[in-house]
Amino acid sequence: MKNWLLAFSIAAVLATGFLLLRKDNEVAAARSRAEAAERQKHEFAAAAARQQKRATELQELLRETRDTSAARGAGRAALQQELIRSATGDSAQKNRLLRDPKIRKAMIAEAREGIEKNIKSLFKAGLAQELQLDESGSAQLAGLLTQKRALFWDKMLMPMMTGEIAEADMPAAGQAIRSAVDENKRQLRDLLGEEGLRTYEWFEKTEGARDEYKQLDAKFVKAGQQLTEQQQTQLYAILTDEHANFKMHYDFEDPAQLDLDHWYNNFSEDKLDVCGQDVEALNERMLQRAQALLSADQLDIFRELLAQRSLKARFVVMTTSAMLARQR
């Protein structure tokens, strides 16, 4: 589940880009009018400064959504609405932004950075050691995983956002993606074997659990609610077990569940709503199992962390669905 959220997080960068482009356009217009009317120069300059300041503030607020507490929920909600309104704005402006070389370069760099970070996290968790890979094998695996994640971004998300592919051409493009995904999986199987492939898939499914555990442990320590060794072991087992075995209705990382011939169908409001409900259901399952393990104070900390992550996931999905709207 964490992996498709990682792919979707690019939407935050895109939405901020829309805000900046819109602000830049307003500043340019203000300066043009100032040149035509000298007497209004100072007023327009002041307006431009305020607009640029607001754009900067929005960027800072966006960064804060990644790790601020629920106490700032109202501020995050206001930012979310601003970003979503910008992302769903005029399609001509959207196309102009997405085809801007600088914006595209930033988008690609952000995507590659996220992919690299995710793969490094898997290796840091002990994936290569568990698979008994040497340096050469580890490098091959990293390359194949990079290729796998880039396929989703390069062949699906980017063309949808930029409108570079017509809906009539989607079946052919979908077949190309299926072929590329199948070939990637074949190479992974050749490298790792069937058992090794299952081990890798378990590491991938439980990456979200490891991330949650790290954040939880830090929050427990900060609150003076440190876990005992027994609690640590059991809580980690709960998180990994639920993430590994919980069945999402729509797994955006599984090509077998995607309608690759009709890409927009994958991001319908109904499916995105179900996705959000699945996240909530997974959170509830983990909380229920943790009740017998954690104290009331520890359980409150756990509940707060899951609520924060759900809010972030909902924001990312809402913004991304706006960015993936059909181009007109």
DSSP character string of 295-327? -HHHHHHHHHHHHHHHHHHHHHHHHHHHHTSPP
**Buried/exposed 129-159: b ≥16 CB within 10 Å, e otherwise:** eebebeeeeeebbbebbebbbbbbbebbbbb
State yes or no: pLDDT of 10 exceeds 60: no
The percent of residues above 70 in pLDDT, for the chain, comes to: 67
Of 251, 281, 278, 276, give the one whose Cα is nearest residue 266.
251
State yes or no: pLDDT of 319 exceeds 80: no
Q: Can you tell me the distance from the alpha carbon of 19 to that of 160, in angstroms, rounded to the nearest whole number?
A: 20
* Interior angle at CA 269, CA 267 and CA 272, nearest 5: 65
Tell me the mean pLDDT in the region 46-50. Answer: 53
The amino acid at 242: E
State yes or no: pLDDT of 43 exceeds 80: no
State yes or no: pLDDT of 210 exceeds 50: yes
- Please give the mean pLDDT across all residues of the chain: 77
State yes or no: pLDDT of 268 exceeds 60: yes
Between residues 235 and 279, the one the model is more confident about = 235
Angle separating helix axes 269-290 and 296-323, nearest 10 degrees: 170
State yes or no: pLDDT of 213 exceeds 60: yes
> What pLDDT does residue 324 have?
66
State yes or no: pLDDT of 297 exceeds 90: yes
Q: Half-sphere exposure of 4 toward its Cβ, with a 13 Å CA cutoff?
A: 23
Query: Residues with Cβ < 8 Å from 185, sequence gap 6 or more?
Result: 197
Q: Can you tell me the distance from the alpha carbon of 145 to that of 170, in angstroms, rounded to the nearest whole number?
A: 24
Tell me the mean pLDDT in the region 120-128. Answer: 95
Q: How do residues 56-115 score in pLDDT, each as one tens digit?
A: 544 454 454 444 444 444 554 554 454 445 444 445 555 566 667 787 788 788 888 888
Is the pTM higher than 0.75? The answer reads: no
**Best-predicted range by mean pLDDT (89-93, 161-165, 184-188):** 184-188
> What pLDDT does residue 170 have?
87
CA-CA distances (angstroms) from residue 97 to 48, 73, 82, 114, 246? 20, 29, 17, 21, 38
State yes or no: pLDDT of 122 exceeds 90: yes
Q: Can you tell me the distance from the alpha carbon of 207 to that of 4, in angstroms, rounded to the nearest whole number?
A: 12
Q: How do residues 130-149 score in pLDDT, each as one tens digit?
A: 999 999 999 999 999 999 98
The lowest-confidence range among 13-27, 105-119, 199-213, 283-297 is: 13-27
State yes or no: pLDDT of 243 exceeds 80: yes
Between residues 209 and 257, the one the model is more confident about = 209
State yes or no: pLDDT of 176 exceeds 70: yes
Between residues 135 and 1, the one the model is more confident about = 135
Instruction: Return the structure tokens found at 83.
Output: 């970003």
What are the extents of the domains in the chain? Answer: 2-323
Tell me the mean pLDDT in the region 212-227. Answer: 94
The percent of residues above 90 in pLDDT, for the chain, comes to: 38
Query: Residues with Cβ < 8 Å from 204, sequence gap 6 or more?
Result: 3, 122
> What pLDDT does residue 130 have?
96
Tell me the mean pLDDT in the region 178-189. Answer: 94
Between residues 254 and 304, the one the model is more confident about = 304
Between residues 253 and 283, the one the model is more confident about = 283
> What pLDDT does residue 42 have?
56
DSSP-assigned letter for residue 155: I
